[in-house]
Amino acid sequence: GQNIDQPTEMTATEGAIVQINCTYQTSGFNGLFWYQQHAGEAPTFLSYNVLDGLEEKGRFSSFLSRSKGYSYLLLKELQMKDSASYLCAVRDSNYQLIWGAGTKLIIKP
């Protein structure tokens, strides 16, 4: 079966750095996505990785290791508005997205 694993919940302090991990087992791989979802709202796109390595975009970075079936999302200089759920999704061999259950990130002052 196909499986995406990520921690259910994480807590971090405003101004700090947090790393959210995602491991996957899917039938084929055609890219990995990270989305942010605030409570009661729609998911919004953060990053896309298809090759191994780090992609940096402002305060957010995403890393991929295809051989390990592993990715992480790194958030720097945390702000209160970063409190949200972070969703990891893998595009499989049918070009459909398989989604993890999401990691709820709680930012404390």
Residues 6 or more apart whose CB falls under 8 angstroms from that of 46 comprise: 33, 34, 35, 36, 57, 60, 62, 73, 86
Q: Which of 67, 107, 64 is nearest to 89 (CA)?
A: 64
> Considering only 16-24, 58-66, 75-83, 91-99, which stretch makes contact with another protein by CB under 8 A?
91-99
Query: Using the rule CB under 8 A, which residue among 18, 22, 75, 98 binds another protein?
Result: 98
Q: Shortest Cβ distance from residue 31 to another protein (Å)?
A: 7
Residue 101 vs 106, nearer CB to another protein: 101
Examine residue 45 and tell whether it contacts another protein (CB under 8 A).
yes
- Convert 27-55 to b/e letters by CB count within 10 Å (16 or more is b): eeeeebbbbbeeeeeebeebbebeeeeee
> Considering only 10-18, 44-52, 57-65, 69-77, which stretch makes contact with another protein by CB under 8 A?
44-52
User: Given the rule CB under 8 A, which residues bind another protein?
Assistant: 4, 30-31, 33, 41-45, 48, 50, 87, 89, 91, 95-102
